Structure 1
Amino acid sequence: MTRLTRFTRTTAFKLSLLYIAVFTVMSGFLLVYVSENTDHLMSEQVVQSVDSELKGLADVYVRGGVRDLVETIDRRSRHPDASLYLLTDFAGNALVGNIARLPTTVLEEADGGLRRVRYTRLGQDSEDVERQAMVRTFELRGGFRLLVGRDLGDQLRFSNLLGNALRLWLIVVVVMAAITWLFVSRRVMKRIDEMSATSRTIMQGDLSGRLSVVGTDDEFDRLAVNLNAMLDRIELLMQSMKDVTDNIAHDLKTPLTRLQTRTEIALREAKGEDGYRAALEATLEESDQLLRVFNALLRIARIESMAPGSVMEPTDLSKLVAEVAELYEPLVEDEGGRMETDLPAGLRADCNRDLISQVLVNLIENALKYGRPEAGGLLIRLTGREEGGRVSLTVTDNGQGIPEKDQDRVKERFVRLEESRTEPGTGLGLSLVKAVARLHGGDLRFKNETPGLSARIDLKPVGPDNNRSGHEEGGTSGEPEQS
């Protein structure tokens, strides 16, 4: 009973009832309209037929008198059609015709009016079989009375047929509507129950649950695809929050412990002002490093929480890369290397200018620290291309590259490979690049060259409606993140 009550409260049930009612009313109206108009048309045909018969018989009577009229009626009465004839004398005795019995008032009211009567046909019906007809009665000279009519049997049978069709049609409509309602309701309820079950699973903490997509591309599939994309985003944000918490708990424990130990040693062993000053300077340096780590983590979190597209604008990448290259070219030359750029003029993309600048800065910093070749000078190349509906930016060095098994791992927070632990840094630079790439609908991808390593991100090209310059002046933002 509870299941039935729940079923009847659904929108599908209510809509089905509405559709059944509307379709039934419209079908009934259509059939009644057809039936009434058909009946009216057939009645007009009966009247025209009776009037035509009367006109012909009147002409016969005028030309040949009663004798010719009797012969004509007798001849026509022998045809088994729907026409009716009766000629009586002044005493009411039947002279000729094909009517065996009819109400006497019909002949008495010989006013030429059209009336519906019941009658028995001569020679074809038993005494208890009555038919219906439309007749006209006229009085002729000499007291003769002439009745001409048309049997309504065909019209009545057609009306009954339409009536039966109407009733059958309404029954079929209701039955088919009920079957359709059951099918649709069961299908809709099944999909909704599946969504509800998945939602309960997610609410219980299992963020990996997803709504099923059956592949019909109906409204439920489109809803499921959008909700699954939303759940992917929520799971990513929750996982990022968990990662940040774990990183803070594990990776910041060591510097905080070192800070505490140095303070305790200073309090226990430092002598004089110089000793305390040295301890305070070391403590301040360690605090600055912790603040840089926290700022980097907060910036990554802010980038990951941004809505894609909310901070994008058409940007001239050729000009942006040239500015970053101009900023870092002296530093690269001081390290004994050189920097090259290879971008087509006017290369544009929808992106966040400040974040893309930061990405280039971080990747160049990584190449400076970890991309030196074993022999020869360092070469850093900044390239950009538009292909496959995306715009790619690539930073390539000529160093040793990253082993393929570690290329995904180095993108995570605080991850630093063994060979790079002697270099200063926090292990958050590539995490920021990865977050910016995801914000732009892409990812950070590494590829080992021969020699060197290329790091690539993809951006969305500027559409025809947004082909305008916007906020393209200004330099890079902020200080580079340490990698």
Structure 2
Amino acid sequence: MRPVETGVTGSGTAAPQPRKQRFLPNLFRTTAFKLTAIYLVIFALFAGFVLGYVAWNAKRLLDDQIRSTIDAEIRGLAEQQRLGGIRRLVNIIERRSRGPGASLYLVTTPVGERLAGNVEALQPGALDQPGENEIEYARSSDAVDTPSRALVRVFMLPAGFRLLVGRDLEERERLGVVIRRAAGWSLLLVFVLGCFASWFVARRVLKRVDDMTETAQSIMAGDLKGRLAISGTGDELDRLALNLNAMLDRIGELMTGMQEVSDNIAHDLKTPLTRLRNRAEEALRSARTPDELRAALDASIDEADNLIRVFNALLMIARLETGRINDSMAELDLSEIVSGLAELYEPLAEEAGLSIVAEVAPDLQVSGNRELIGQALANLIDNALKYGQPVGEAAPVVRVAAGPADSQIELSVSDHGPGIPEADRGRVLERFVRLDQSRSKPGFGLGLSLAAGVVRLHGGQLRLEDNAPGLRVVMLLPKAPPKPVDMVEENPLPASTAPVKPAGLLSA
């Protein structure tokens, strides 16, 4: 016997149903269908209101025309009665009653006996009150069971005679039927076209949403290169797809970076860990005096400190990328930080056979974290001292400069060393990336990555430029907004002039 299919995949998750089977239920749940249906109802109500207003105006216009005709006939007949008496009026009514048309005439005695006219039967009391009224009547005794409606006016004549003049409302009734029929067909057509439009719009939207869903499912299944399709219309779905694609690109970059970092950690930290283990093993095997054991322990501690600094830098870069240090931002005087660091590194520069030249403009105010900016600048100066040995006839100078540049502050560190090839300048900002010519120097390739993270956190930009010869690293930081006048203290305290002492320099 053939087993019953349960619609569950081998992994235990429900298999997606074919699009044709789920299209109709999903169609009625789409926002596009609901909005179109709401617009259809609103438009139908508006169309019904317009048609009702037209019908009411047509009825009112027709009634006004009927009243004008009745008034004109009453004035003419009253004039005839005044000139020739009741007999002349009766003769005129008899003559007019025999003609075709919708006009109604009736002359009665004071007691209600019919003298002339084309009205055979009236509803009781129709002649008792003079003036305008809408009544039911019959032209002959045969039509009493199926009365017609008419708009009439009763006029009291001398000696108690009564004159009724009116118009049959059959034309108005026919016009009403025509308008009601047109309104019905119009609303039906609006409903049919609206349903078709709802189906068409919702189908197009649902198809694009289903395509996005399928792409998202493929991405969740592991195809991280999948991207949402763009129709090119620039509508809201295109904008959503563009933003989602940008998010997927960023996630892909982070995943690639995470994989590269994992590989680099496994590769670059294997050597110091192996060296640490070998030293400990060598100390256990060959050390015979306390001094030899102490020297082995000191070397192991130094190696462990280097590893701790590497992991601290990795944690700092991760915090920078997630923006979790924004709470420690404050207004800083960048001039004081740069001057202090340049002075702090002068002894190290002399030991390396170099000199530091600081060109710092006064009062460079930025909003940021003092320790992070100091750490980034210290890394750049340390790199310049390590890799900035002059090439050829170049001067052995490391130049540190800071000054305004439009709405930003430009901070640069320049050397006259071998520099970095243009093709590698973007790559060296990644973690654990070290060029071949720098592998003989101490370091782990985290200094420039940390500096780039600090600059991004502060909303700035880091550039690597050619110093001809050498390398020029430029940090662009936004200026701090000016303080309101009422917040400026009359006697502000002087800023601290203590230089920033970076903890654990990590060279690139």
The bucket for the TM-score relative to the shorter chain is: 0.7 to 0.9
Is the CA contact 2:388–2:415 (under 8 Å) kept in the aligned structure 1? yes
2:405 matched to 1:386?
A: yes
Q: Equivalents in 2 of 1:132, 1:166: separation in Å? A: 24
Structure 1 pair 322–278 and aligned structure 2 pair: CA distance change class (3 A): closer
What is the 5 A alignment of 1:61-80? 61-66=81-86, 69=89
Structure 1 pair 193–392 and aligned structure 2 pair: CA distance change class (3 A): farther
Structure-1 residue corresponding to 2:457? 439
Structure-2 residue corresponding to 1:377? 396
- Aligned residue type for 1:220: L
Q: Per the alignment, in what secondary structure is the counterpart of residue 444 of structure 1?
A: strand
Is the CA contact 1:107–1:147 (under 8 Å) kept in the aligned structure 2? no
TM-score after normalising by structure 1: 0.80
Is the CA contact 1:329–1:339 (under 8 Å) kept in the aligned structure 2? no
Structure 1 pair 60–447 and aligned structure 2 pair: CA distance change class (3 A): same
Structure-2 residue corresponding to 1:126? none
Structure 1 pair 160–306 and aligned structure 2 pair: CA distance change class (3 A): same
What is the 5 A alignment of 1:434-473? 434-440=452-458, 444-462=462-480
- Once the two structures are TM-superposed, the CA of residue 295 in structure 1 deviates from its matched residue by 1.8
2:286 matched to 1:269?
A: yes
2:266 matched to 1:244?
A: no
Structure 1 pair 145–435 and aligned structure 2 pair: CA distance change class (3 A): same
Structure-2 residue corresponding to 1:104? 121
- String of CA shifts for 1:7-65, please: whole Å, max 9, x gaps: 22334334443443344344434533553465356435534542453244324422442
2:500 matched to 1:476?
A: yes
Q: How many correspondences in the alignment?
A: 468
- Unaligned 5+ segments in structure 1 are 122-128
Structure-2 residue corresponding to 1:124? none
TM-score after normalising by structure 2: 0.76
What is the 5 A alignment of 1:217-256? 217-256=234-273
Structure-2 residue corresponding to 1:185? 202
Q: Equivalents in 2 of 1:419, 1:109: separation in Å? A: 118
Structure-1 residue corresponding to 2:382? 365
- String of CA shifts for 1:342-386, please: whole Å, max 9, x gaps: 55x555555444322222111111111112323323131324443
Q: Per the alignment, in what secondary structure is the counterpart of residue 206 of structure 1?
A: coil
- Aligned residue type for 1:455: V
Task: Pick from 195, 202, 213 the counterpart of residue 219 of structure 2.
Answer: 202
- Unaligned 5+ segments in structure 2 are 1-20, 141-145
- Aligned residue type for 2:32: A
Task: Pick from 41, 44, 56 the counterpart of residue 24 of structure 1.
Answer: 44
Structure-2 residue corresponding to 1:125? none
- Once the two structures are TM-superposed, the CA of residue 150 in structure 1 deviates from its matched residue by 2.5
Is the CA contact 1:308–1:440 (under 8 Å) kept in the aligned structure 2? no
- Aligned residue type for 1:162: I
Structure 1 pair 157–197 and aligned structure 2 pair: CA distance change class (3 A): same
Identify which range, 106-115 or 283-292, moves more after superposition. Answer: 106-115
Q: Per the alignment, in what secondary structure is the counterpart of residue 465 of structure 2?
A: strand
- Once the two structures are TM-superposed, the CA of residue 297 in structure 1 deviates from its matched residue by 1.9
- String of CA shifts for 1:393-435, please: whole Å, max 9, x gaps: 3322233321223323322333333333333222211121232
Question: Percent identity among equivalent residues?
Answer: 46
What is the 5 A alignment of 1:302-317? 302-306=319-323, 315-317=332-334
Structure 1 pair 26–258 and aligned structure 2 pair: CA distance change class (3 A): same
What is the 5 A alignment of 1:418-429? 418-429=436-447
Q: Equivalents in 2 of 1:224, 1:349: separation in Å? A: 37
Is the CA contact 1:437–1:458 (under 8 Å) kept in the aligned structure 2? yes
- Once the two structures are TM-superposed, the CA of residue 230 in structure 1 deviates from its matched residue by 3.8
Q: Equivalents in 1 of 2:506, 2:402: separation in Å? A: 21
Is the CA contact 2:90–2:115 (under 8 Å) kept in the aligned structure 1? no
Structure-2 residue corresponding to 1:8? 28
- Aligned residue type for 2:273: L
Structure-2 residue corresponding to 1:405? 423
Task: Pick from 120, 133, 149 the counterpart of residue 150 of structure 2.
Answer: 133
Structure-2 residue corresponding to 1:58? 78
Structure-2 residue corresponding to 1:416? 434
Structure 1 pair 62–193 and aligned structure 2 pair: CA distance change class (3 A): same
Identify which range, 419-428 or 254-263, moves more after superposition. Answer: 419-428
Q: Equivalents in 2 of 1:165, 1:202: separation in Å? A: 54
Q: Equivalents in 1 of 2:229, 2:359: separation in Å? A: 47
